[in-house]
Amino acid sequence: PMGSERMEMRKRQMSTAQETPGSAQTQNNMGTRGSNACCFCWCCCCSCSCLTVRNQDEERARTTSHELQTEGIPNCEESPAPTLEEVNAWAQSFDKLMLTPAGRNAFREFLRTEFSEENMLFWMACEELKQESNKSVIEEKARLIYEDYISILSPKEVSLDSRVREVINRNMLEPSQHTFDDAQLQIYTLMHRDSYPRFMNSAIYKELLRSLSEKSIEA
């Protein structure tokens, strides 16, 4: 009888030892599923994703997209450094700001901080188109401008109303130097009314004005 009891106890010990790893594995699996569970429904479905994480991923993708868009774009037009008189003149009117490459460069730098640099790039592309006379070159440049700034699929699409878009679509049937004139004027007006007042109060403009004023005093 004593031998039978020892055998029974040994069997129970062996059985317990075999069950323990299985139980630990089960707990580990539950812990893994729990960590993947959605924070809202706390389910064990691996395909269930947390909305917070999803929003962070989308924001990261938008930021990366913007960084990729600005890669390869020239930092500025070639121009001499602006004088104090020129910088003071920019405050007199938006037209005077846009007349000089230095003014456009400073304003474009500001637009980049507001993620609206495409407005200036579109305006400049339209100006370049107006200088062309070769028909095939005009057609190619018009197509590129449309794809880059007019198409709703472009990340650099500019904001235009439906009337102007209809005009562009008609003009694209036979592109010319003036295909985007209405759109260019609308974007020019938008920059004038919306962005220009903020630029005049921006750190970019004030720092440039301060720097040139100090140099003028020293001279």
pLDDT one digit per residue (tens) for the chain, 219 residues: 444 445 555 555 555 544 444 444 444 444 444 444 333 333 333 333 334 434 444 454 444 334 433 333 445 677 789 999 999 999 999 999 999 999 999 999 999 999 999 999 999 999 999 999 999 999 999 999 999 999 999 999 999 999 999 999 999 999 999 999 999 999 999 999 999 999 999 999 999 999 999 988 886
Q: What angle do helix axes 135-145 and 117-130 make, rounded to 10 degrees?
A: 170
Phi, psi of 155 (to 5 degrees): -70, -15
Class for domain 84-216, per CATH? mainly alpha
Domain boundaries, the chain: 84-216
